[in-house]
Structure 1
Amino acid sequence: MTNVHLDECDPWQEELLRWPYGRYAKLRDAGPVAYNTKYGFWSMHRFAEVQSAMSDWETFCSSRGVGITDTAKEKAWRPPSLLLNADPPAHTEVRSIVGRIFSPQAVRRLRQRFEDEAADLVASLGDRTEVDAAVELAEAFPLRVFPDAVGVRPEGREHLLQYGRMAFNSEGPKNAIYQEAFRNAEAVHAWINESCRRENLAEEGFGADIWQAHDAGLITAEQALLLVRSVLTAGLDTTIATIGNALLALAQNPEQWRMLRDDPSLARNAFEETLRYDAPVQLFFRTTTRAVQVEGIEIPADAKVLVSIASANRDPRRWGPDADAFRIRRDAAGHVGFGVGIHRCLGQMIARLEGEVLLAALARAYESIEPAGEPHFRLNNVVRSYRNIPLHMTPAH
């Protein structure tokens, strides 16, 4: 492994999960590729290499799992996602079907309802000045609007959050964080599977739209179940995390809140910058289908490769010397927070809509927001988010 930086660290230790950005900088500076001696995987932390690997599905495949486990050698905990854990040609047809369902027109039809729900949620806070932004805003809003958009039955929706944590934590090692996420897993899994069935979904919504593709003979009943499951898995945790991370960053950078307060149309930019600055999905894995040269370093075939999304999004080589700064007027286009290429997140427009309308509603309602105590981090092998974010929020009068 000539010229390869040997990384002896455990990236899933609590201290690094809480604040990984210093380590990312060191790994970027060490070289284009590193080899983790503890777990035996390769990693990329610079923007150019991460973007290139995530774009090249023929060399860096997803069909062997986007976590540390090679699902060609070890059975996954659930049937693989038809979108996230697949490559062409199998991936192409189902992605095309779901892409038509999550069309820009379909998302635009949700805007007024989402705006009304955001205004109602903000109004429900009344004149309170102490708010837990993680629970009362970042979690509460997506849980109000997204399950309804899919058509999920009201009973048991609390299982959606644990199921998402199970899914994302399973992409890392089977550590204590993984074990905690899988407590009561059987009941959660059973609820999810039942909720994806046609008879348990509303007559209108993205879930029903997927089952209509089955009626048209485009997908099988098993595929319809798995596609609804994929939508439910990916549709909450990352949006919740991004909204929470955005509110924390805005509270910690009061000049950025003032910009948003003065011009609520910057809400979309603020959400986008959060995806870059404090990416909800920190990493994914790929598996090499052949030996490949990366800047003169050979990664062998059948190797697991960690692509560090969050590190790439802070790489000064791409974002300039202020890459570690939160700037809502920055042009953050091109970040890899929603993935790249054929595996780019299909639900990204809905997530952006949720973040935009809630941040805009808050900007119109509050003169200022500031930290009101230490935020409590939620340990997760992949997703970066908080259990609690205490904020002091001064209503506008």
Structure 2
Amino acid sequence: MPTSLPHDRPVLDIDPFSDAAVDHPIELDRAIRAAGDVVWVPKYGFWVTGRDAVIREVFNDWQRFSSAYGTGLTNVLRDEPWRKPSRILEADPPVHTPNRKVLARVLSIAAMRKLAEEFRITAEAMVDRLVEERRFDIASDLAFAFPFKVLPESVGLQPEGRHHLMPYSELNFNAMGPKNERYLAARKIVEEQGTFEYVAAQMAEENLIEGGFGSQIYAAAHAGEITHEDAGMLVRAFISAGIDTTVFGIGNTLMALIERPDQWDILRADPSLARQAFDEGLRFMAPSPVIGRTTPAATELAGVAIGAEEKVLMWLAAANRDPARWERPDDYDIRRKTVGHLAFGTGIHACVGQMVARLEAETVIAALARKVKRIELTGAPERIYINWLRGYHAIPVEVIPA
């Protein structure tokens, strides 16, 4: 139960980044949500909220709750960040506005239509090969393998060096949390592999394959919409945050379907529900369960006084099961109307790449549903241990072809 510090700060004494928290994510979410509208976590010195209504207030008021100080635990304006802050993820208007406008156009509905057939062909071929094998790891061989192939190709990243993408992304999400052993281990890997050098080179216009998202972003720089430096930073956003969240979102959704054969049967009967199944998977087990904001000045949130330059972490995974917002919140139901879940955020900083993620997930899940009658676990799934993400490194399965 929360206690109180001086100044009437409601307190929740937890470590949301511990191994125990990773192993018991739903219990953690419930504890955060039950503690109150907004509570202080003394171990790390931040506020946390897991209530849907409170999180929406934070998301929708960027003046009071800024992204420019960093969306993780580090105050990037005062403390040296591990890499230069993003011009879209860690920026507010007016800096944020032109960069988001460019990305929104590059990742438009029309752009997704152009990619849909290419994604479908790739997904069909990948699923056909795995179904023929019958036994495989659905986390690594499909949930990871499909986005890892199609997204870098869509961005225009060179084939050489793509093995750097996951270590760099894992460092990105570990760095958003505390500088613990996970962060130190992830940083050691990228430093030893030369990953920083790869990323710096791949951000450059001359190293991108013509026709991809990257070259389209640089075209906007040539047109004077954004700077060339900002164009490189937007390409970096795909490298640092474009794969892991989709990979683990697909894996979490497949895990929910494997554990619920009745839901898989519904999807098999109507593979057009694949996108809905994915969105429900995001609500049910958000791959990126938390995002942060910082108060530029003292303010009040849900009746609690918050000081200037204090971190407020929005625990999206808890809000996505908030019974004040969702009926049967702990049930995974692919027929649920999931409009309004918070896994992609909301407001001006809502995930600009969400249509790409949905297209990737919808395509590969639908291909699987058309070709597989049943998916059965052949071993214990293995969770990831990344500070800012939830998902599985391994889900060993056997499939029964349709």
TM-score normalised by the chain length of structure 1: 0.97
**Contact persistence 1:366–1:393 (CA under 8 A):** yes
Give the counterpart of 1:337 among 335, 343, 357. Answer: 343
| CA–CA distance in structure 1, aligned partners of residues 135 and 244 of structure 2 | 24
Report whether the alignment pairs 1:296 with 2:293: no
| CA–CA distance in structure 2, aligned partners of residues 361 and 181 of structure 1 | 34
The aligned counterpart of 1:266 is 273
The aligned counterpart of 1:163 is 168
**Contact persistence 1:151–1:201 (CA under 8 A):** yes
The aligned counterpart of 2:333 is 327
The aligned counterpart of 1:378 is 384
- After superposition, residues 380-395 of structure 1 pair within 5 angstroms as 380-395=386-401
Deviations 1:6-58 (A, max 9, x none): 11111111010122211221222221011111111111111111121112111
- After superposition, residues 78-157 of structure 1 pair within 5 angstroms as 78-157=83-162
Deviations 1:82-116 (A, max 9, x none): 00000011111111112111111011100000001
| CA–CA distance in structure 1, aligned partners of residues 37 and 100 of structure 2 | 31
The aligned counterpart of 2:79 is 74
What SS does structure 2 have at the residue aligned with 1:281? coil
| CA–CA distance in structure 2, aligned partners of residues 289 and 135 of structure 1 | 41
**Contact persistence 2:249–2:281 (CA under 8 A):** yes
Displacement of 1:120: 0.6
The aligned counterpart of 2:283 is 276
| CA–CA distance in structure 1, aligned partners of residues 24 and 89 of structure 2 | 27
- After superposition, residues 230-241 of structure 1 pair within 5 angstroms as 230-241=237-248
The aligned counterpart of 2:264 is 257
What SS does structure 2 have at the residue aligned with 1:60? coil
| CA–CA distance in structure 1, aligned partners of residues 103 and 278 of structure 2 | 24
The aligned counterpart of 1:202 is 209
**Contact persistence 1:251–1:391 (CA under 8 A):** no
Runs of 4 or more off by more than 6 Å in structure 1? none
| CA–CA distance in structure 2, aligned partners of residues 170 and 247 of structure 1 | 27
Structure 2: which amino acid aligns with 1:392?
E
Structure 1: which amino acid aligns with 2:323?
P
Displacement of 1:203: 1.1
Give the counterpart of 1:60 among 53, 60, 65. Answer: 65
**Contact persistence 2:284–2:321 (CA under 8 A):** yes
What's the % identity of the aligned pairs?
Answer: 43
What SS does structure 2 have at the residue aligned with 1:317? coil
Displacement of 1:153: 0.4
**Contact persistence 2:98–2:226 (CA under 8 A):** no
Displacement of 1:4: 4.3
**Contact persistence 1:146–1:236 (CA under 8 A):** yes
User: Is the deviation greater in 124-133 or in 232-241?
Assistant: 124-133
**Contact persistence 2:296–2:308 (CA under 8 A):** yes
**Contact persistence 2:66–2:295 (CA under 8 A):** yes
Structure 2: which amino acid aligns with 1:154?
P
Displacement of 1:3: 5.8
What SS does structure 1 have at the residue aligned with 2:48? strand
| CA–CA distance in structure 2, aligned partners of residues 77 and 27 of structure 1 | 28
Give the counterpart of 1:314 among 300, 306, 321. Answer: 321
**Contact persistence 2:143–2:248 (CA under 8 A):** yes
Deviations 1:239-263 (A, max 9, x none): 1011111111100111110100111
Report whether the alignment pairs 1:188 with 2:195: yes
Structure 2: which amino acid aligns with 1:204?
G
**Contact persistence 1:115–1:357 (CA under 8 A):** yes
| CA–CA distance in structure 1, aligned partners of residues 201 and 303 of structure 2 | 50
Structure 1: which amino acid aligns with 2:249?
T
**Contact persistence 2:12–2:35 (CA under 8 A):** no
Report whether the alignment pairs 1:44 with 2:49: yes
The aligned counterpart of 2:178 is 173
**Contact persistence 1:57–1:87 (CA under 8 A):** yes
Displacement of 1:219: 2.1
| CA–CA distance in structure 1, aligned partners of residues 32 and 171 of structure 2 | 28
| CA–CA distance in structure 1, aligned partners of residues 209 and 31 of structure 2 | 50
User: Is the deviation greater in 127-136 or in 279-288?
Assistant: 127-136
**Contact persistence 2:294–2:311 (CA under 8 A):** yes
Structure 1: which amino acid aligns with 2:189?
N
What SS does structure 1 have at the residue aligned with 2:325? helix
Structure 2: 5+ residue runs without aligned partners? none
| CA–CA distance in structure 2, aligned partners of residues 371 and 217 of structure 1 | 53
Report whether the alignment pairs 1:19 with 2:24: yes
TM-score normalised by the chain length of structure 2: 0.96
**Contact persistence 1:44–1:307 (CA under 8 A):** yes
**Contact persistence 1:4–1:31 (CA under 8 A):** no
| CA–CA distance in structure 2, aligned partners of residues 210 and 293 of structure 1 | 39
